[in-house]
């Protein structure tokens, strides 16, 4: 049973680290604020959650487990709310997303009345 907990903890920690790393790459690679916010908001919440679950599996004692659960709950509630508030503030300050110009080439052109 102890070996199973160690393997599960290691997998959760590795997956969480991978998600946080991919969110960092998303900040560097995506073209505008909104896609960067999406990449970081999703991967940060899930990555931190997986890391915290991995830590819970490593140390399943009473007080430490309770503290890690509280951190996980706060993270799950605060990160999406903060991402939403930042995106809404950006929209209110007239920050427009970058639209792909190549999708309008060729096919359907608007007709003039």
- Tokens, residue 34: 């909104």
What domain count does the chain have?
1
- Tokens, residue 55: 């830590």
| Residue pair 16/49 in contact by the 8 Å Cβ criterion | yes
Is pLDDT at 70 greater than 90 in this prediction? yes
In a domain, 8, yes or no: yes
In a domain, 25, yes or no: yes
In a domain, 74, yes or no: yes
- HSE (CB half, 13 Å, CA atoms) of 112? 0
The DSSP letter of residue 69 is H
Q: What is the pLDDT of residue 107?
A: 47
The DSSP letter of residue 109 is -
Cα distance from N-terminal residue to C-terminal residue, the chain? 73
Domain range enclosing 72? 2-96
Is pLDDT at 64 greater than 50 in this prediction? yes
In a domain, 103, yes or no: no
Give per-residue pLDDT as tens, 2-48.
Answer: 899 999 999 999 999 999 999 999 899 998 899 999 888 889 899 99
């Amino acid at each position: 049973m102890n070996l199973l907990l160690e393997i599960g903890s290691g997998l959760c920690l590795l997956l969480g680290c991978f998600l946080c790393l991919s969110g960092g790459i998303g900040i560097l690679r995506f073209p505008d604020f909104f896609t960067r916010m999406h990449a970081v908001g999703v991967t940060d919440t899930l990555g931190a959650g997986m890391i915290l679950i991995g830590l819970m599996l490593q140390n399943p004692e009473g007080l430490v487990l309770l503290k890690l659960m509280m951190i996980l709950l706060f993270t799950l509630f605060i990160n999406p709310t903060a991402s939403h508030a930042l995106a809404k503030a950006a929209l209110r300050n007239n920050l427009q997303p970058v639209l792909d110009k190549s999708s309008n080439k060729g096919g359907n052109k608007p007709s003039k009345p």
